[in-house]
Amino acid sequence: MMNATQTLKELQVVVAKFADSEVALTPATVLRADLGINSYELVQMVCAVEDSFAVDIPDRTISRLKTVQDVIDYLAAHG
């Protein structure tokens, strides 16, 4: 199991494919607002996170993932 720092580094790689620009990813980064992605792109990004971390993130959970920390916490609990 990865620690939070390793998870953040891996998320940076995944998120870079979807963000408008090179955003410095921190636990406080707000996914949609700070990354400049729309709802469709958020779903695509979640699918990429699922593939990268070998987890399943149910559709009903996506709306609760507001920040990078939310994603890290979810991955820690379900990864």
Residue whose C-alpha is closest to residue 27's, from 68, 66, 56 = 68
Can you give the pLDDT at residue 22? 72
Q: Which of 1-15, 35-49, 56-70 has the lowest mean pLDDT?
A: 1-15
Question: 34-45: per-residue pLDDT in tens?
Answer: 988 888 999 999
- 13-34 in b/e burial notation, b at 16+ Cβ within 10 A? ebbeebbeeeeebeeebebeeb
Q: How many CA atoms lie within 13 A of 64 on its CB side?
A: 9
Can you give the pLDDT at residue 20? 67
pLDDT at 66 over 80: yes
Ordered by start, the domain boundaries in the chain are 4-67
CATH architecture assignment, domain 4-67: Orthogonal Bundle (1.10)
